[in-house]
Amino acid sequence: TLIATGSSDHTVRLWENDMRGRSSVLKSHSGTVRACSFSFDGQYLLTGSDDKYLKIFTVHNKRHTSTINAHTNWIRAAEFSPDSRLIVSASEDKSVKLWDSEQLALISTFEDEASFLSARFHPDGTCLASGTLDGKTSVWDIRSQELLQLYDTAHTDAVNSVAFHNSGRYLLTASNDSTMKIFDLRKGSLLYSLYGHEGTVQVVNFSRDGTLFGSGGSDSNLILWDSNLVDPEQEQEAQRLKKSKKDTKGPGKKAKGAISAAEKLRRLQKKRKNENKQQDETKVEDKENSSIASNQESKYEAIAEDLAGMMDKVTVQLDIITRTIVTLSKRIGDNEELVNEAYNQYKIHKRNAEIKEQNPSLNNEDLSENESEQEPKEEFKETFDPAQSVMDLEETRNKCKNIMNIININQYSLAAISKSANDVKETTTKLQKDFLPEGGETRAADPIR
């Protein structure tokens, strides 16, 4: 077993994993070597450097075999895919590139507005994760180049390193904000935030079985963590992935019936979009129903207010008409008394005139002694004119007729107003039955489907 390290002295060292710590030096780069990755079978070593080149070495004879002019700026991460057929490289030129490891040909490019500082393959090789200088963590589908997940608010500074759990369900990140984050990819959410380093966290990685992970920071500390991420379901999935790798015959082939992580994430993404869409539709529908109910409630309140105002006006008009009729009735009674008295005085005066005409010798005293006759009132003696009295009497009678007509008209109006008031009352009662449930609270209309 060998360990590969890159250095700012432009060299790569292959260390033997024993007590003696012997190493071999590989020289090929002209800049700081920032990335080292062994192929799945351990036969090849991939390196990336500030000189913008990717280099491939054979491990058994420690010889440089291939060079890829990969980027236009420093290469910050490079790795073989799990089946060793692909290479991913991340650079400060704001791109992540996917290469064919045999043909050394560019397959696809993923771009962002910020520089890429890290990139890793998913355990099943169908998707990859990347971290950027502005704190974004992304998960990409390799085949469709589709962005499956984006976490752009978890970190507040550059994401220096990313690592997948061996189950493929979790993603670990390290950042300049002194924190590490663990994301649950199936739920698409942040699971844990970890604090342990005083400065920036430079690198993180899981152990092969996923039970542990390590972190290294600018505080010169290397911390070993218990992941606590393995449950029975994940263990079964890990065993399936291991069996899938054992049954693989030739590069890039997978066990029959295996579903890629990218496909799972795509389905998860689609499911989440559908759920969000349904939630949005439900919110819109609830909002529309609430708006309809609110509008109807306002409409009913306005109708109730209008009806109340109308009833108040009707009541006032009825009161005015009632008082008017009472006044007119009183005036008619007074006029009838005056007419009757005037008529009686006229009859007395006429009778006395006839008697006096028949008996000129009679005086007023003699007339007053006649029991059947009466003397007109003193107030009628000087001003009473028979002809004028007849005219006045006729005029008074006409006035009484007009007054009676007015009374009749007002009676008809009163009847009409009373009928209108009853109609309004019936309409109000109907509206209350239709739109107000028991208890008097406004009932919202049923939503329109």
Q: Match 């280099």 to its residue by tokens.
A: 55
For 380, residues 6+ apart whose C-beta sits below 8 A from its C-beta are 345, 349
At 200, which amino acid appears?
A: T
201, β-bridge pairs: 217
CA distances, 49 to each of 91, 95, 217, 411 (Å): 10, 15, 21, 108
Given this model, what pLDDT does residue 119 score?
97
Mean pLDDT by 10 residues, the chain (449 residues): 93 90 92 95 95 95 94 96 95 96 94 96 94 96 92 95 94 96 93 93 94 95 89 62 59 44 68 72 68 65 72 71 72 72 76 76 60 50 55 67 67 66 68 53 38
Query: Whole-angstrom Cα distance, residue 426 to residue 102?
Result: 90
Cα torsion 155, 159, 163, 167: sign:
positive
Domain boundaries, the chain: 2-277, 303-435
189-195: strand order across its sheet? 159-164, 170-175, 179-184, 189-195
Given this model, what pLDDT does residue 410 score?
64
Given this model, what pLDDT does residue 189 score?
92
Q: DSSP assignment of 212-230, as one string? A: EEEEEETTS-EEEEE----
Query: Whole-angstrom Cα distance, residue 140 to residue 130?
Result: 8
Given this model, what pLDDT does residue 254 score?
42
In which element (H, E) is residue 282 found? helix 261-358
Query: Whole-angstrom Cα distance, residue 267 to residue 151?
Result: 18
For residue 362, the SS3 value is coil
In which element (H, E) is residue 23 found? strand 23-27
Helix, strand, coil share (%) of the chain residues, nearest 5? 40, 30, 35
Given this model, what pLDDT does residue 447 score?
39
Which candidate, 42, 35, 159, places its Cα nearest to that of 89? 35
Given this model, what pLDDT does residue 334 score?
72
Which candidate, 182, 186, 216, places its Cα nearest to that of 198? 216
Which superfamily does 2-277 belong to? Answer: YVTN repeat-like/Quinoprotein amine dehydrogenase (2.130.10.10)
Q: Are 177 and 156 in contact (CB under 8 A)?
A: yes
Given this model, what pLDDT does residue 445 score?
37
Given this model, what pLDDT does residue 385 score?
58
Q: DSSP assignment of 61-91, as one string? A: TTEEEEEEE--SS-EEEEEE-TTSSEEEEEE
Report the predicted TM-score, pTM, of the whole model to 2 decimal places: 0.55
At 291, which amino acid appears?
A: S
Residue 56 has a CB neighbour count (10 Å cut-off) of 19
Given this model, what pLDDT does residue 377 score?
54
Given this model, what pLDDT does residue 446 score?
39
90, β-bridge pairs: 77, 96
